[in-house]
Amino acid sequence: MPGRFIALEGGEGVGKSTQGRLLAEALRAQGIEVVTTREPGGTAGAEAIRAMLLSNEGEGWGPRAESLLFAAARADHVEKLIRPALARGAWVVCDRYVDSSRAYQGGGGGLSDEDVMTLHRIGSKALVPDLTVLLAVAPDVTEQRLALRDGDSADRIGGRGPAYHARVSAAFQQFASAEPNRFAVVDAGGTTDAVHARIMAAISDRLA
């Protein structure tokens, strides 16, 4: 039978990478084949685009160029890694996916959701996750976590100002409200184990 596709989404410093790793370990303990991946990235071509997008060198990219690059990276990722894994029955756990493009280049950068999703339809045939776990924390918690994680070395997108990231957060919440059947909003505050337990409960409820 086809596998399941789970994306972890949220703003900066909410713990997506850590929680993705714990989720994959828990699913593997149940005998499930799990492929962990990330966006932008996951394939050689997509990782090359990631380096261009996140580097602090040069003048950077405007939101339209960013959207095109993210869509190109995602197209390669979906074709070469995600769809083949799902077809053989594996579960895919992805750190960010198309909703990040919608939130960052759309909500943060001002592009319309229609434009972002048009690129997604062209590049990735509109593939969306079976479940999108949106990790949410208070803004002051995010700032504390980023200070500990990045110091003065944030990447180009993570280092943008508070107003930009507030728009990103609001966009994520809007998407979750509009698609409650696909999104599970999980409180990412508290201990790592507590957040993991909330994610496992959400997956049990939605994908049982």
pLDDT given for residue 130 in this prediction: 97
Q: Is the dihedral of CA 191, 197, 203, 205 positive or negative?
A: negative
pTM above 0.85, yes or no: yes
Residues of the chain scoring pLDDT < 50: 149-150
Tens digits of residue pLDDT in 70-125: 999 999 999 999 999 999 999 999 999 999 999 999 999 999 999 999 999 999 99
pLDDT given for residue 162 in this prediction: 82
pLDDT given for residue 154 in this prediction: 61
CB of 136 within 8 A of CB of 15? no
pLDDT given for residue 60 in this prediction: 79
pLDDT given for residue 55 in this prediction: 81
192-207 vs 16-29: helix crossing angle, rounded to 10: 60
pLDDT given for residue 190 in this prediction: 92
pLDDT given for residue 142 in this prediction: 56
Domain extent, residue 46, equals 5-207
Could you give the number of structural domains in the chain? 1
pLDDT given for residue 207 in this prediction: 84
pLDDT given for residue 157 in this prediction: 63
Residue 183: helix, strand or coil by DSSP?
A: strand
How is the beta sheet containing 34-38 ordered, strand by strand? 34-38, 91-95, 5-9, 131-136, 183-187
CB of 93 within 8 A of CB of 196? no
pLDDT given for residue 143 in this prediction: 57
CATH number at 176 reads: 3.40.50.300
